[in-house]
Amino acid sequence: MDGHKSIFCELDGQKARSKALKIAVGLSGVVSASLKGEDRDQIEVKGDGIDTVKLVSLLRKNVGRADIIKVTEDG
């Protein structure tokens, strides 16, 4: 089962974007991560068995504000 998760993050500058993507792809189950949105302030992660709560917690701890926008499961 593949899942798509969209997470809003306050990403000020390229350094924060890069750090957020590194955190996302380092999580177990993540196949890909990309920046979305007008201001490139949303991270879309794709994969199987992604712990969304853990991802948001890590982003909040290391980058700043992070909120879950959408979680979809493709089966």
Q: pLDDT in tens for each of the 75 residues of the chain? A: 467 887 888 788 889 899 999 999 999 999 999 998 888 888 889 888 888 899 999 999 999 888 888 888 775
> What is the reported pLDDT for 2?
64
pTM for the predicted model, two decimal places: 0.83
How far is the C-alpha of 60 from the C-alpha of 69, rounded, in Å? 14
> What is the reported pLDDT for 75?
56
> What is the reported pLDDT for 25?
94
> Edge-to-edge strands of the sheet including 42-47?
30-36, 42-47, 2-9, 66-74
Which fold, 2-74?
A: Alpha-Beta Plaits (3.30.70)
Number of Cα atoms under 13 Å in the Cβ half of residue 22: 8
- What does the domain layout of the chain look like in residue ranges? 2-74
- CA-based torsion, 36, 72, 64, 15: positive or negative: negative
